[in-house]
Amino acid sequence: MSEKLTPMIQSCILHFGEMGSRWGINRTVGQMYALLVLSKEPLCADDITEALSISRSNVSMGLKELMSWELVKLQHRPGERKEFYSAPGDVWDIAKTLIEQRRKREIDPTLSTLRNLLIETPANAEEEYAQQRMREMHELIEMLTLWTQEIQRLDSAQLGKLLKLGNSIGKVLDMKDRLLGTTKKDATK
Partner DNA sequence: CTGTAATTTCAGTATATTCTGAAATTACAG
Partner DNA sequence: CTGTAATTTCAGAATATACTGAAATTACAG
Of 157, 83, 141, the residue nearest 108 (C-alpha): 141
At its nearest, how many Å lie between a copy of itself and the CB of residue 67? 19
Residue numbers 21-50 binding a copy of itself by CB under 8 A = 21-24, 37-40
For DNA, the closer of residues 60 and 132 by Cβ is 60
Residue 161 in contact with DNA, rule: CB under 7 A: no
Choose which of 12, 39, 69, 83 interacts with DNA (CB under 7 A).
83
Q: Judge whether 63 and 57 are in contact, CB under 8 Å.
A: no
Among the listed ranges 8-16, 53-61, 65-73, 76-84, the one in contact with a copy of itself (CB under 8 A) is 8-16
Cβ neighbours of residue 90 closer than 8 Å, sequence gap 6 or more: 156
Residue 44 in contact with DNA, rule: CB under 7 A: yes
Cβ neighbours of residue 15 closer than 8 Å, sequence gap 6 or more: 34
Among the listed ranges 47-55, 60-68, 69-77, 133-141, the one in contact with a copy of itself (CB under 8 A) is 133-141
Give how many residues touch a copy of itself by CB under 8 A.
70
The dihedral formed by the CA atoms of 131, 134, 138 and 140, expressed in degrees to the nearest 10: 120
Of 40, 64, 67, 34, the residue nearest 52 (C-alpha): 34
Query: Which residues make up the interface to DNA (CB under 7 A)?
Result: 21, 26-29, 44-46, 53-58, 60-64, 76, 79-83
